Chains A and B, each alone.
Chain A
Amino acid sequence: MTAALDREQARYIAAQAADARINFEIETEGMTLNMGPQHPATHGTLRIVAKLDAEQVVSAEPIAGYMHRGYEKLSEVRTYPQVTTLINRIDWLGSFANEVPFILAAERLMEIEAPPRAQWIRTALFEMSRIANLVLFAGDTGLQLGGQTAAFYGFRDREHVLNQIEAVTGGRFHPNFDRIGGLKDDLPKGWIAETKTAMAKVRDFCDEIDDLVTGNEIFQARNRGIGVIPADVALSYGLSGANLRGSGVDWDLRRDAPCGLVHPELDWKVYTHPDGDCFSRWWIRIQEIREATRMVDQCLDGLPSGPIMAKVPRIIKVPAGEAYVETENPLGAMGYYVVSKGDLGPFRVKIRSASFNNVSVLSWVLRGVYVPDIVAILSSLYFILGDIDR
């Protein structure tokens, strides 16, 4: 009798154990997806390690630093004009804009002001670098989402602006044109008329992109309501540029903290959007391209005559002090905190780059999104690797 009961019990226990084994095996783990440093979507060498549950992201962490070049340390051993060459390469798409805050900080410490003509041309080139940068953004966002044609149109129309920048500075991507006290050279003959033609072509491009991409239902379905960043999160992470204005915060350094550039004298608008999603950031950038073309036209119309460079000594020694100048660069707010001890070169330069803050919000915004949305959010936040990694 007991033997039969024992067998029964043994069989029961075995069945329980088998059941437990099956349950243990069916238990699924999440998958870790590594959008590694080399990937078509990450605009450079950004690495995102995402833990997925089927197609949804549970947690994501961006890992930067694959392109860290140590600009802050390198600046300490260079003279001020040599630093300008270096910082061109931080945001390499809108590169003239990188030089401007640094030069303005040095000029503030030296207490000199660039002559009006130089300031107006600086503003025109500043806005042109914004156009060059954001036109690529427009094309690239279409490409990331699958509309390959938009990318080609973007590159084609960017050429107009780059040709103009090259005509005056000699370099398409790294102008190295700004000098403490003014600019290196004056405008070549015929440049103003050509630039106005180029601006008209860029406006046509904006209209074309609006037809091709902005109104497209699929594009809207992929971008509306995706990657919503509320205003308080945006402020707390220090987002800037279209990322901040896309969340409804009305803050534009060109209007609110202008220094050395002539934006207050131009007639232009700041665009904000209340939604805070990927579409609002896209929309604002397209409007900013249009506004930038109008600003360039106004700059060229109102260009005063005069010298292009203030009186500065041949060998520049900036007096001791500290200055922080921040401008509204294409990617966001970029600033240089320059500490000077009266030497030929700075004592410490802290580079506040826009994309560093913009990318830090990724771990917050990527929770709970689908894998395809990662790409949409990355392209809408629009960072440049050189800007993150300096």
Chain B
Amino acid sequence: MTSAVLAFEMAYWQQSVLRSVGVLAAVLLPAGTIVYLFLFKMMSFMQSRLGPNEAGPYGSLQLLAEVGKWIQKEDIFPAKADRKLFAMAPYIVVASVLLVYVAVPFGPDAWFARLDTGIFYVLAVSSISAIGVLIAGWASANKYSLIGGLRAAGQLIAYELPMVLAVVGVVVQAGSLDLFEIVRMQAEGEIFGLSWFGNPFILTQMVGFVIFMIATQAELTQPPFDMPVAESELVTGYMTEYSGIRFLLFFIAEFASAGAFGIIAATLFLGGYWLPGLDMHADYMNVVGPLVLLGKMLFVTFIIFWVRFTYPRFREDQLQKFAWTLLIPLALVNILATMVLKVAF
């Protein structure tokens, strides 16, 4: 928070602590909402069952119960595992997810860090989790984990490209890498001469949006791209040997990154923290904005989880073929069309 907003002066270290706590809250809140709402309840209803309904009213405290359960479990190291790497891997994955939230604008003055190359930073930092996954697969000293880790590495690298290319389309249209600028362009732009609902890039970048969502599904290793954690083959893939807090970190990272990519998708394509009818620069947007962004993120993650529980999984080579021969050419065509139309209009 800039000091202009606060009523009293804070030292730099106090601001940093506030920002760190804020980031954690910003991560854990959506992660918790997603896990409870979608994983436990929506999936259960889709599968004609009730889901958790004991812990708290309508099972709302189930996540708390799960966290408590995982924290008190024994910390197991496989005998042949590389201890340092084994311990380090979950932290790398969680760190890369937390770093994504840092660059996102939650409101005109509600942000953690204002970066000129916002989206570039986000894409770069989100790829670090691939390293963590690979380390986890190798350090587990387990053949299943190794296969899972290698599959994950191949998949994450392969689907980075369509994601980046889809984002390039947005960047070309917005004319800037800055996330704040992108949100401003969507809020203050106009389409077909109508300006009351701005110009959310999903309308003009529909192809890019679809490619981004597919690439997100793959980045999150969710079905139909969950070969790395294919339950019926690899038990849990690279997470097989983890227990206790480390597994909890992987679990949180999975849903927090779903939230992170949801927030990025909302910012890039759905207009960020702005809704039609609201003043983009007003003070109340610092409170309303995060809520709006949370709502849009829930919408995007709803789609992610809906697809997750419906489709069977791709085989690894089919998955790679899909990325390299279909998504990447499509994304390139999208960029070309965007450039042409941007110049023309």
Contact = CB atoms under 8 A, between A and B. Distances in A.
A372 B230 contact: yes
Most B C-beta atoms less than 10 A away, residue of A146, A149, A221: A146
A223 to B, nearest CB: 9
B313 A146 contact: yes
B44 to A, nearest CB: 9
A374 B315 CA distance: 11
Contacts of A110: none
A216 interface: yes
A148 B314 CA distance: 14
Given A370-B317, A371-B147, A142 B233 contact: no
21 contacts: A55-B147, A144-B232, A145-B232, A145-B312, A146-B311, A147-B223, A147-B311, A148-B47, A149-B47, A149-B310, A152-B49, A156-B48, A216-B312, A218-B311, A221-B315, A222-B314, A370-B317, A371-B233, A372-B230, A372-B316, A374-B233
A147 B310 contact: yes
Name the 3 nearest CB pairs between A and B, nearest first.
Answer: A146-B313, A152-B47, A145-B312
Most A C-beta atoms less than 10 A away, residue of B47, B143, B147, B312: B312
B317 to A, nearest CB: 7
Interface string A357-373: 00000000000001111
B122 interface: no
Interface of A: 31, 33, 39-41, 55, 142-149, 152-153, 156, 212-213, 216, 218-219, 221-222, 370-375
Nearest to B223: A146
Contact of A221 (B226, B233, B310, B314): B314
Contact of B312 (A39, A55, A147, A373): A147
B185 to A, nearest CB: 36
A148 B311 CA distance: 8
Interface in B288-335: 309-318
B268 interface: no
A371 B150 CA distance: 13
A149 B308 CA distance: 10
Given A146-B224, A152-B49, A373 B315 contact: yes
Given A152-B47, A152-B48, A218-B224, A145 B313 contact: yes
B167 to A, nearest CB: 25
A143 to B, nearest CB: 7
Contacts of B46: 149
A33 B147 CA distance: 10
B306 to A, nearest CB: 10
A143 B47 contact: no
Nearest to A143: B232
Interface string B207-246: 0000000000000000110110011110100000000000
Given A146-B224, A146-B226, A221-B318, A372 B233 contact: yes
A31 B143 contact: yes
Contacts of A219: 312
B313 A218 contact: yes
A55 B48 CA distance: 36
A216 B315 CA distance: 14
Most A C-beta atoms less than 10 A away, residue of B310, B311, B314: B311
A143 B232 CA distance: 8
A371 B146 CA distance: 13
Given A147-B310, A370-B315, A373-B315, A33 B230 contact: no
Given A41-B232, A372-B316, 20 more contacts: A41-B233, A144-B232, A146-B223, A147-B223, A148-B47, A149-B46, A149-B47, A149-B310, A153-B47, A156-B48, A218-B224, A218-B311, A218-B313, A221-B318, A370-B317, A372-B233, A372-B315, A375-B230, A375-B232, A375-B233
Nearest to B222: A146
A149 B309 contact: yes
Contacts of B316: 55, 370, 372
Nearest to A378: B232
B143 A33 contact: yes
Contacts of A142: 312
A110 B187 CA distance: 88
A148 B230 CA distance: 11
Contact of B310 (A212, A222, A373, A375): A212
A219 B311 CA distance: 8
Most B C-beta atoms less than 10 A away, residue of A33, A142, A153, A372: A372
Most A C-beta atoms less than 10 A away, residue of B143, B147, B233: B233
Contact of A216 (B49, B309, B311, B317): B311
Contacts of A39: 235
Nearest to B224: A218
A221 B312 CA distance: 10
A175 to B, nearest CB: 27
Nearest to B233: A375
Contacts of B314: 218, 221-222
A41 to B, nearest CB: 4
A374 to B, nearest CB: 8
A146 B233 CA distance: 10
Nearest to B318: A221
Contacts of A373: 315
Nearest to A223: B312
Contacts of A372: 227, 230, 233, 313, 315-316
Contacts of B315: 221-222, 370, 372-373
A373 B315 CA distance: 8
A153 B312 contact: no
B314 to A, nearest CB: 6
A148 B223 CA distance: 10
A218 B230 CA distance: 15
Contacts of A221: 314-315, 318
